[in-house]
Structure 1
Amino acid sequence: MTRVPVLPTTVVGSYPVPEWMERLKTDYFRGRMSRAQLLDVHEMAIKAALHDQRQAGIDIVSDGELRRDNDIDYFLARIPGVEIKDTAKDFYFDYYEASLSEPLPEAEGTPLQLADDYAFTAAHTAAPVKFSFTGPFSLAHRVTEDVYRSRGDLVLAIARVLNREARALAARGAELLQIDEPFLAGYPEAVDLAVEAINIVTAEVPVTWALHVCYGNRYARPLWQGHYDFLFPAVLEARVDQLVLEFARKGYQDLPVLRKSGWDRDIGLGVIDVKSGEIETPDLVADRIRRALDLVPASRLIINPDCGLRNLPGSVARAKLSAMSEGAALVRGELSLPTETDLSADAESDAKENSHAVHR
């Protein structure tokens, strides 16, 4: 397993799409650009995003999700059986109208080809890579259908598709996979179904698994409000190693809820507000981490923004990531702990780690 510093820094997934790239992607959907040209644009942008992350001091990088037009379409458009009648878009970020006229075929194979996407990214960085994909609960909520007995049956069918993709990702060398469920906070009554689907996705895939749950981030606006207590106790049954949550925008009052509810695995701690253009200082980031250390041992904290960076200008995103890395380094220097850890946590040793010895 890849070694990373204690309090490793990472991103949630997406990276800013520059205006010129927005125009080119929209040109593609309006039929003014070839697919081969679009692929070249994606690859160039991914390599630039990897460079930016490493320059900012990020320990675990992502591809910036720059091949994806939004959090949904890249996946639904590739799932056999999903019908998209109009593939043109006025703006690349718009959602397709997706539908089903019959149940998804239970075919083998990996139609989403996510392992190829991971392999390209891994070939262009020496850093550990987090690879994220949208979860089955959120994907199902963008599909119109009346062929399943319940929406839950569709969620589970999509989960089986994603499990095959996850197996292929692991076979290509992926070590850290993240399931994003941006719609879940809007349907708190369905958390049991979402956890059942997550466990289908992660079944027999021996990697470190993260689950990201936020309150929405479309056009840098939250879609819902609330607290993370809705996840419990159901999420305790999820076969994942990390919960990646937003705290910088919402505040840290939910951290005691996680502890009280019995979450004893890793926490991806949101310390950067991605819905604000104001750039945090390293000292502010460090203070947010120290507050979390009052409740969570350092060995179980991963430091990340609240959510994806897609809606921020590139210069702002780079400055925020640099501040996040510098703030994590400040706290790391105050800890009486080993300087490195595995990407996967050891739950038994974590339970003994409460004497993290932060020198204030």
Structure 2
Amino acid sequence: MKKVKSSNLGYPRIGEKREWKRALEQFWAGKLEKEDFLKQIEEIRIHHLQKQKNQGIDLIPVGDFSLYDHVLDTAVMFGLVPKRFEYGGGKVSLETYFEIARGTKGAVASEMTKWFNTNYHYIVPELGEVVPTLVENRPLEFYKEAKQKLNIEGKPVILGPVTFVKLSKGYNENDFKSVVNQFVPLYAKILHDLQKEGVEWVQIDEPILSTSISKEEVALFNDVYQTLREAAPNIKLILQTYFESIDNYQDVISLPVDGIGLDFVHDNGQNLASIKKYGFPKDKILAAGVIDGRNIWRANLNDKHSILTQITEFVSKEQVIVQPSSSLLHTPVTVKNEETLDEVLKGALSFADEKLREIVILAKGLQDGKTSIQAEIDESTKAIQALNESSVRNNKQVQQAIQNLHIYSVNREADYKVRQSIQEEFFKLPLLPTTTIGSFPQTQEVRGQRLKWRKGEITTTQYEEYIYAEIKKWIDIQEELGLDVFVHGEFERTDMVEYFGEKLAGFQFTKFGWVQSYGSRCVKPPLIYGDVSFQEPMTVKESVYAQSLTTKPVKGMLTGPITILNWSFVRDDISRYDVANQIALAIRTEVEELEKNGIRMIQVDEPAIREGLPLKRENWESYLNVAVNAFKLATASVQNDTQIHTHMCYSNFEDIIDAINALDADVISIETSRSHGELIYAFEENTYDKGIGLGVYDIHSPRVPKVKELARNIDRALQIINPKLFWINPDCGLKTRGIAETVGALKVMVEAAEHAREKFLVKEEL
């Protein structure tokens, strides 16, 4: 019998201990020469391929590795460099590549936004300025590298043309089909060249098929892939979907490709139901994504084998490839380095390397029968059961609170207009008040002191004295700058989710469980593995100290329940919505503690609400209702003169404008500077009548903006937003920026705010 193949869709780029991140940042800092940098990167890339080969994966992805972002990789492969960057044609240089991603002193970086409903950010391609051309066949180069270096017959991975254009900007939606057709000959050339090289398998990612798309767009897929099929008839072309089920199942399985990749983890059972109802073509491969590519829990191999068995009632074993539900980009690299974790928890974990092993086991079980993997099935069942029966997952007090949620009010005492009047009198802020989002630069010294404290090299008292000194330094800087509302700087925090997870029951942290968020920015999501509950005040001490140093209001800074949920690896044995409400009740207690201790502005950040939207529009309302309720559950118990702020990151806000309003926050700040015009449009089309700050400069780019840039952004916003409601702030926290550029940019921001106030007052007098 033909062997059941195992496959992977993509491997984490960052390395077991973030070797990739360090190489990038040393290169950007000028501490690593270009030649040495590229050599280090090649070694990392080759090591990743070797690990997959050693695990026994049959179809190893090549071309999934990136120096920053795979969507940006696709754009530069087609020479899509915005005109504001100096580019003379031909293969895009490494320097230009990073300029597009990070910006320059004279040119703003390209916009960045969320990759579907994940916490990974991609660089948005800008179309319309230049005609796309194939300037390098990137998949071919990576295929040749794997073959020459490791004798691996790799499976090139390419972001498909329809999804690529869908994720881009700079064209009229009415021209969508013609824009896609500009790229089709370029993709055909890529495939033709791969075929000439002898490539057998190619994975083309089209996750847009898992969203709500029109019948016309489905028809476009047929035209596109018919052309690509003709360009490389000898290649086995797998059209890969992930993150959800596909609505247009019958149309998709009829597309002119050799295989269809489906997600059997995040599809709510719909993909399997479609196979049972409509069958599957006998002349196609089914790439079955049965191992979760987005979470870190060990697979119940008995359940996974059962799914595969059900599939093979309708699809022959010879047609099935076993693989993860999506790229493993979204998981940490390996559990083996987590030497300090509790053994019960560790036994229930599976990161990228362990998931590859699960895939190989399941492929063997499908081929040789369940008894051939019974020992592995028993092992996984025992490990999962041990965690489910542990005390941390059986907190009766928390479970009782969730059953009695109705006793907690989710509405403020008065409506916004009443609160606004009370708060104006209480705070006496100027027109167009200035503030920042929360964090200030975390210098090498700050990180070094934290590391010394964690290692026991300095005492807790010494560490707290250091943190207090940093807080005082930045309170003084804010006074000198003339900001109106201060923050304490968050120097005690490594990450906005990790910090709270360390102080709440039900969370655990890894040592090397990093995943890429954007560029070299890696985050270490906490593991929500048990019932979540408040234990003791988490932010009160630092906030109260900062407030004691100034007469200006200092915001208490918290992370909201939905962001903590979406930026964590969440237990999968109960509803995510129950977990969200557990977190909300814990944050509610912290909000009340801050208020009791004199902190009357409290910012509860929810940057991840939009990214959690289900890919199917019909599921948005139920998700947003839960998200809004959790936020209000966390914030509604304060007095009318306590001002609740929130913050959100890059998103298509027109999708959730009603939910933003329903949060009933007194002030919302939104990260917008890379796409300022688009966001303003959302507020032109939808009325928003509460306090709002549309970020006036981009903190992700290492440059100090000009006053005229900020003035332009402010003026544009004030055309549609009442100046009495408008706040002026950067578009995100300043943790990753240097001190000089932070102070310089904030000085410019305050100056721009002063000019805007003067203009408004003159206009009022006229």
Does TM, scored on the shorter chain, surpass 0.5?
A: yes
Q: 1:330 to 1:85 in 2, by over 3 A?
A: closer
Tell me what 1:250 maps to. 675
Task: Report deviation, 1:128.
Answer: 1.3
Per-residue CA distance 1:178-215 (angstroms, 9 max, x = gap): 11123223223343322111110112212111121103
SS at match of 1:239: coil
Gaps of 5+ in 2: 1-425, 515-521, 615-622
Which residue number in structure 1 is paired with residue 442 of structure 2?
A: 17
Corresponding residue pairs, total: 323
RCO greater where, 1 or 2, for CA within 8 Å and sep 6 or more? 1
From 625, 628, 633, the equivalent of 1:195 is 628
Determine the structure 1 residue equivalent to 2:503.
78
In 2, the alpha carbon distance for the partners of 1:73 and 1:323 equals 32
- Please give the residue correspondences for 1:264-303 in structure 2 after superposition, counting only pairs within 5 Å: 264-303=689-728
Which structure has the highest helix share of the two?
A: 2
TM-score under structure 2 length normalisation: 0.40
Distance in 2 (CA, whole Å) between partners of 1:198 and 1:36 is 34
Contact map agreement 1:331 1:358 (CA 8 A) in 2: no
Task: Name the structure 2 match of 1:308.
Answer: 733
The one-letter amino acid of 2:507's match is V
Give 2:645's match in structure 1, choosing from 188, 198, 210.
210
Q: Write the distance in 2 (CA, Å) between the matches of 1:323 and 1:188.
A: 36
Which residue is 1:44 aligned to? 469
TM-superposition CA deviations, 1:310-359 (whole Å, max 9, x none): 1110000000000000000011111238xxxxxxxxxxxxxxxxxx6598
- Whether 1:146 aligns to 2:572 is yes
Whether the aligned pair in 1 keeps the contact of 2:475 and 2:486 (CA below 8 Å) is yes
Measure how far apart 1:147 and its partner are: 4.1
Give, in whole Å, the separation in 2 of the partners of 1:168 and 1:288. 37
Query: Contact conserved, 1:290 with 1:358, CA < 8 A, in 2?
Result: no
Residue in 2 that maps onto 1:170: 595
Q: C-alpha distance in 2, partners of 1:163/1:95?
A: 24
- Contact 1:80/1:111 (8 A) holds in 2: no
How far apart are 1:265 and its partner, in Å? 0.9
How far 1:31 sits from its partner (Å)? 3.9
Q: Structure 2 counterpart of 1:331, which letter?
A: A
Instruction: Give the aligned CA root-mean-square deviation in angstroms.
Output: 2.4
Note if contact 2:570-2:576 (Cα within 8 Å) is conserved in structure 1: no
Equivalent position amino acid for 1:317 in 2: T
Rounded Cα–Cα distance in structure 1 between residues aligned with 2:583 and 2:498: 14
Deviation (angstroms), 1:85: 6.8
**2:669 and 2:441 mapped to 1: Cα distance?**
20
- Residue 88 of structure 1 deviates from its aligned partner by 11
Residue 95 of structure 1 pairs with residue 524 of structure 2? yes
- Letter in structure 2 aligned against 1:262: T
Counterpart CA distance in 2 for 1:262 and 1:198 is 21
Alpha-carbon distance change, 20 to 115 in structure 1, aligned in 2, over 3 angstroms: closer
2: CA distance between counterparts of 1:291 and 1:272?
13
Mapped to 2, the partners of 1:230 and 1:54 lie a distance apart of 38
Higher Rg: 2
Q: 1:317 to 1:137 in 2, by over 3 A?
A: same
CA distance in 2, matches of 1:134, 1:73: 10
TM-score, structure 1 as length reference: 0.83
CA distance 1:7–1:281, shift in 2 (3 Å): same
Q: Give the deviation of 1:233 after TM superposition.
A: 2.0
**For each residue in 1:275-334, what CA deviation from the matched residue of structure 2 results, as whole angstroms up to 9, or x when unmatched?**
112211223222211111110111010000000011110000000000000000011111
CA distance, structure 2, for counterparts of residue 120 and residue 37 of structure 1 = 16
Match of 1:328, SS state, is helix
Q: Distance in 1 between matches of 2:508 and 2:750?
A: 43
- The alignment partner of 1:66 has SS state of coil
Aligned letter for 1:178?
Q
